[in-house]
């Protein structure tokens, strides 16, 4: 029986084919769909996940140490910092004067 099984095997051992897993194939398909729909939850998973190519290249574009990326990130951070300080000052003014 083992001899017949080994003779019928295909040379591609890495291929997942429904013929090889007759009873487990519905579960394998369900697991495949589940894993493809799952999003990465950590930085390490995002770093290694190449299923969503747009998300992968967006991740690397943001982390790329190009000068225009650093300039964009720095200017964006500066604008956020200025707006946060302005909002904080307005809250203090509204609280002290009683104006809503």
Task: Give exposure, 23-59, as e/b (b: 16+ Cβ within 10 Å).
Answer: eeeeeeeeeeeeeeeeebeeeeeeeeeeeeeeebeeb
Q: Is residue 18 part of a domain?
A: no
Q: Is residue 10 part of a domain?
A: no
Residue 75 lies in a domain: yes
* 43 belongs to a structural domain: yes
Task: Examine the domain organization and report whether 51 and 76 are in the same domain.
Answer: no
Same-domain status, 57 and 74: no
84 in a structural domain? yes
What average pLDDT does this structure show over 67-93? 85
Task: Examine the pLDDT at 3 and tell me if it is beyond 80.
Answer: no
Q: How many domains are there within the chain?
A: 2
Q: How far apart are the first and last CA of the chain?
A: 85
Per-residue confidence (pLDDT) for residue 1, from 0 to 100: 59
pTM: 0.36
How does pLDDT run across 22-69, given as a tens digit for each residue?
888 889 889 888 887 777 777 777 777 777 777 777 777 777 666 666
Residue 35 in domain: yes
Please give the pLDDT value at position 90: 93
Average pLDDT over residues 75-99: 90
For residue 27, what are the domain limits? 23-64
Domain assignment present for residue 14? The answer is: no
Considering the domain architecture, whether residues 28 and 53 belong to the same structural domain is answered as yes
């Amino acid at each position: 029986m083992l001899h017949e099984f080994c003779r019928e095997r295909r040379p591609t051992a890495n291929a997942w084919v429904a013929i090889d897993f007759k009873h487990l194939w519905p579960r394998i398909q369900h697991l495949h769909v589940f894993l493809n729909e799952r999003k990465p939850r950590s930085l390490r998973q995002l770093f290694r996940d190449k299923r969503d190519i747009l998300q992968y290249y967006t991740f690397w574009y943001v982390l790329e140490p190009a000068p225009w990326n650093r300039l964009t990130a720095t200017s964006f951070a500066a604008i956020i910092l200025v707006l946060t300080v302005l909002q904080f000052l307005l809250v203090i003014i509204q609280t002290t004067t009683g104006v809503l």
